[in-house]
Structure 1
């Protein structure tokens, strides 16, 4: 749709509902689907980038760079997160980085092997243990980091000097998150959940990319898979024998859209045209399960190999910077890789909120029946 000139705009006051995962296993499968969709969508964007820029004015240079940064970040987030944890343990607890990095990287490789060859139950158990270990490491780092910052600030105050230090970048990141929450007054209470999320998202950065790519063969939806019986999503108790007649009566009153009507034919033609023009004939349109499984397995093996190779190379680059450069440079490089898209999102969010507030103010003054302004889109 974007290749044909359709626009995507941000709306801050929309409301939506969905079936959220209720179990840890459902959450994993849902996120696996989301991560793969995000990577494939970004790959399609870069594949058709020239056409998108030509047909869509919303594709600016900053937007493209932020997409590229997010794409690369998802791929290298496991090694980056493990390196940050290793560096934090050296600074806060004195554990050498050159000892922690090989151990953590070996654990990542072993986890990838388990996700590729292990059963679903084995993967879930190992993932849960891996998640708990990284979350505990992050909890210890968070507690020690707070003490480190407080002691450092007190020492600067005693010496009468106050200089910018790399750990201020973490405080700026937290401030940006708080600012984004406060800009949405109706959702600021979600900051309470953000405290728990702050200790969990590093583990997600390590686990989800590897788990998602390794489970590319799994085509399950992730949620709502067990809701196949009558009453699974019924609000309250239901007696099937008592209410079945009532349900059938209500269902009989609903209009039935059959292919015999002209509306159904036009709708069917629309979707068939959309599928053939945008999806093409190379997508799964009734392929045999065995053929699909074999093809996805081959693709999975290539993708997981490239992902692990890329993370190994990136971890080597960060390690070389640590050995031959200043520690501050490491912090600035990691912060730049991580925060660029966040800054773009915060700037876009702020500009939208200002524009939206001005629009609402003018509408209250002149009324909704009057035109505010007309801006021609190119």
Structure 2
């Protein structure tokens, strides 16, 4: 769509080929290598570096094309964890670069002949639809509850909001791994809900008019993908996986949005990262931090509130001190005994040397006292 209406806004690094003159143009490479200094920079510069480079080239008047006849292979997320971590990095950077491009739309339209005002309006509508997509899905689920379970609109709305509020609380209080685990569980729950939504949509099509939000959403979604499949016959059978995509629509539009908004402070790459090898000082610091966390966790336990934990800790320290003192006394005694043996050995050796010297002296004196005959 971007290639047809204007030009492509993002070329992933593994699928891209840029002219050297375009990359070396003014305010492209120099701006691209600018170190981040603000919070927005870390999201726009570091999290989506390929889109950031493309945005700079578009603002300088260059065109980015899509080549439909090319094939490229790369690594893609294969697990739920990898997918969420990748989207946690991509989604905020996409919005940041889109806002940057829309903020400079006058200059971009004037400099770049391939970007028109209707194309910028299309990008604005696309960004606005991305922002309101979570609420749209919630309203769709609300309508399904109302059609299938015959609940009131208010009750259906509260029921559809319950998983969202629970996951929001988890993302604001728990670690990233727990957030992803909770998202996987709620995604399975939403798959069942989407089956209910499908039944509700069918009921709406039969009993209500075509202007129902559920009917408009499902019909529009099906029509768009069906037309895309017809225009690309080689990839037509990829539509078979459309049922799975439909089941995880709430996860990708609601849970994923909450996840990346609550983790904007995390600017790590998220995928294809290897554990950093810690130095000896860093390992000692990590052990100290873990010990502090362990003590802090123990301080909140029920036994500690009763004072039992402190009593056990004091008794353990007392036993350690007693055993340590006893070991020290035994070590000192062994050292003293060793010193006494060494002193005794040195005394015996000294006495032996003195005895030998005395014997030699007496022998010399006896030799001197003997006078040969005729020399008296």
TM bin, normalised by shorter chain, reads: 0.5 to 0.7
Q: Which position in structure 2 is the counterpart of 1:20? A: 76
User: Within 5 A, what are the aligned runs for 1:1-378?
Assistant: 1-146=57-202, 149=205, 151-152=206-207, 166=212, 167=215, 170-226=218-274
Give 3-state SS (helix, strand or coil) of 2:142's partner. helix
Offset at residue 22 of structure 1 (A) = 2.1
Q: Distance in 2 between matches of 1:61 and 1:88?
A: 38
Deviation at 1:206, TM superposition (A): 0.7
1:194 partner SS: helix
CA distance in 2, matches of 1:125, 1:221: 19
Distance 1:62 1:218, change over 3 A: same
Per the TM alignment, residue 152 of structure 1 is displaced from its structure 2 partner at its CA by 5.0
On the 8 A contact 1:92/1:145 being kept in 2, the answer is no
Structure 2 vs 1, CA of residues 100 and 152 (structure 1 numbering), >3 Å: closer, same or farther?
A: closer
- Greater Rg by CA: 2
Structure 2 residue matching 1:59: 3-state secondary structure: coil
**Within 1, Cα distance between the matches of 2:114 and 2:256?**
30
> Residues of 1 paired with 2:257 and 2:147: CA distance?
27
Secondary structure, in 3 states, of the residue corresponding to 1:224?
coil
For the 8 Å contact 2:148–2:199, the answer to whether it is kept is no
Unaligned runs of 5+ in 1: 154-162, 229-378
Change beyond 3 A, Cα 1:11–1:83:
same
| Cα distance between partner residues in 2 of 1:223 and 1:69 | 30
TM-score of the two chains, using structure 2 as the length reference: 0.53
In the aligned structure 2, how far is the partner of 1:183 from the partner of 1:124?
36
- Aligned to 1:62, the other structure's residue is in SS state helix
Aligned equivalents of 2:81 and 2:220: distance in 1?
34
Name the structure 1 match of 2:354: none
Q: Which has the bigger relative contact order, CA under 8 A and spacing at least 6? A: 1
**Whole-Å Cα distance in 2 between the matches of residues 172 and 22 of structure 1?**
28
Equivalenced residue count is 219
C-alpha separation in 2, matches of 1:22 and 1:123: 18
CA distances 1:17-66 after superposition (whole Å, capped 9, x unpaired): 22111221111001111111211111111222121111112222332222
The alignment partner of 1:213 has SS state of: helix
CA distance in 2, matches of 1:175, 1:69: 19
Three-state SS of the structure 1 residue aligned to 2:76 is coil
Q: Give the deviation of 1:144 after TM superposition.
A: 4.1
- Answer whether contact 1:79 1:105 (CA < 8 A) is retained: no
Which residue of 1 is the match for residue 290 of structure 2?
A: none
SS at match of 2:237: helix
The question of whether the paired residues in 1 share the 8 Å contact of 2:138 and 2:161 is answered with: yes
Cα shift at 1:127: 1.0
Two-structure CA RMSD over aligned residues (Å)? 2.6
The residue number in structure 2 matching 1:355 is none
Shift of 1:226: 4.6
Following TM superposition, by how much is the alpha carbon of 1:112 offset from its aligned partner in structure 2, in angstroms?
A: 2.2
When residues 169 and 197 of structure 1 are mapped into structure 2, their CA distance, relative to the original with a 3 A threshold, is closer
